[in-house]
Amino acid sequence: MTEIATHIEKSNSSLQTANENHNSSLRGTKQSQQLVPKLRFKEFDGDIEETLFGNHYSFHTTNSLSRDKLNYDEGEVRNIHYGDIHTKFQTHFHLTNEYVPFINEDVDLAKIKEDSYCKVGDLVIADASEDYADIGKSIELIDINNEKLLAGLHTFLARPSSENTAVGYMSCLLKSWKLRKQIMTIAQGTKVLSLSTGRVSKLKLNLPSLPEQQKIASFLSALDEKIQQLSKKKALLEDYKKGVMQQLFSGKLRFKDENGKDYPDWEWVGGNKLFDNISDKKHNSDLPILAITQDQGAIPRDLINYQMTVTEKSVASYKVVQVGDFVISLRTFQGGIEFSDYHGICSPAYIILRPSSDDVDREFYKFYLKTPFYIKQLQKNLEGIRDGKMISYKYFSEIKLPFPSLPEQQKIATYLSSIDSKIENVNNQISQTQSFKKGLLQQMFV
């Protein structure tokens, strides 16, 4: 990670605006404004050549094998499926870092030509998609580990036909807005969009010198590696949190008090012993209406562009939700209980739970009520109805909840919150790096 950060810092320090890097005679012409990027490494200058994709890449045959002809266990030849380009493969493709299926052994590959097998530097382009965001999405093969690899269903295999393109550069250029706009323009279809090799060949692109391409590709590749490492760090923290929660809430892992002594044994009591069922409808309908979501808890509808409208008469029957309340949906397939960080009102179709004493730490139960173990218990008590399932306060009350001493509740909650803070910090770093890269793609290409 340190090496990547150093590489990015050094490269970033040599980036400068095109205006600073070009003399006034170049800046004064309309042509130079079109063919000089806004952001550029300081050692490069001059206009950038405009050319066509087809002048630098040729297309080779791909197969049309469906998923049922592939497996993840064994085989001699791997296959790139267009769905994986859309959903999981990195733009700079390293075979050892990706989960790529094999072609089943009973598939006859005798008629596959040698030049149809992928090579380093090839682009594999998804030629079909249901939306404009993914049409023409591509990966560039940086390392295929000397294995046999084919491009499959709904893909184009484009191979460099000139020595004017640097490995790792073109896939970045294809993500720039200028190229994305062209690709969306040439896509055809109604329900499913598609491309043709003829139209892709006519894409207009600007190619800088080979050394400049190589430096841009290296810089953006370092950013991608940083994002991948941060993503792995986030995944490890999330797995660690799951493991710790399982240990803590099963009692296999216990904290000591401030004097190093054991806390009292946990009690297990019915939910109604810890939470009251609240039906407060005393409001003037001026509080924000809350939507109950699985990923954000109880949150004002305005913050998530909630489209459903309600009448003044129905709002009058809504229940008041205080900060720190828990909300259960009467009809739910998941059986989840959501936490509210907001003061507002929600539909009477929800059950509002509020701690019944100061010995109940909201943060502790915010974690516990989201554990798979508890949700599984809750779902057992779901009662079937015509169009869904429902949970009542009575059923909630029948489930035994852990009731450690308040100091132990607080210590567990604080520890788990600290892990959440670390996860959020890494997530912010990922978002910032992705935004930084997006900005570079907009300014480094013309």
Q: Domain check: are 202 and 306 in the same one?
A: no
Both tokens assigned to 175: 């993500």
How much is the pLDDT for 385?
41
Residue 30: inside a domain: no
Q: Domain check: are 86 and 163 in the same one?
A: yes
**Collapsing DSSP states into helix, strand and coil, what is residue 358?**
coil
Task: Provide the residue range defining the domain that includes 148.
Answer: 49-207
Residue 186: inside a domain: yes
How much is the pLDDT for 1?
55
Altogether, the residues listed in the chain come to a count of 446
Give the residue among 244, 292, 232, 260 at the shortest CA–CA distance from 420: 244
Q: Domain check: are 291 and 200 in the same one?
A: no
pLDDT at 147 over 90: yes
Residue 354: inside a domain: yes
Residue 412: inside a domain: no
Q: Domain check: are 58 and 197 in the same one?
A: yes
Give the residue among 336, 340, 308, 313 at the shortest CA–CA distance from 326: 340
Q: Domain check: are 199 and 287 in the same one?
A: no
pLDDT digits (tens, 9 = 90+) for 354-400: 999 999 999 999 999 989 888 888 777 665 444 445 678 888 898 99
Residue 55: inside a domain: yes
- Number of structural domains (the chain) is 2
Q: What is the pTM of this model?
A: 0.80
Provide the mean pLDDT of the chain. Answer: 88
Domain boundary among 207, 233, 256: 207
Q: Domain check: are 271 and 136 in the same one?
A: no
How much is the pLDDT for 382?
61
Element (H, E) at 70: strand 70-71
- Cα–Cα dist 119/136, whole Å: 20
Residue 98: inside a domain: yes
- Cα–Cα dist 263/164, whole Å: 70
- Cα–Cα dist 440/8, whole Å: 12
Q: Domain check: are 192 and 273 in the same one?
A: no
Domain boundary among 174, 190, 207: 207
Q: Domain check: are 176 and 302 in the same one?
A: no
Q: Domain check: are 201 and 299 in the same one?
A: no
Residue 16: inside a domain: no
Instruction: Provide the CATH number for the domain around residue 142.
Output: 3.90.220.20
pLDDT digits (tens, 9 = 90+) for 60-112: 999 999 999 999 999 999 999 999 999 999 999 999 999 999 999 999 999 99
pLDDT at 198 over 50: yes
Q: Domain check: are 116 and 193 in the same one?
A: yes
Q: Domain check: are 291 and 396 in the same one?
A: yes
Q: Domain check: are 200 and 281 in the same one?
A: no
Residue 26: inside a domain: no
Contacts of residue 369, defined as CB under 8 A and 6 or more positions apart, other chains included, come to 326, 337, 339
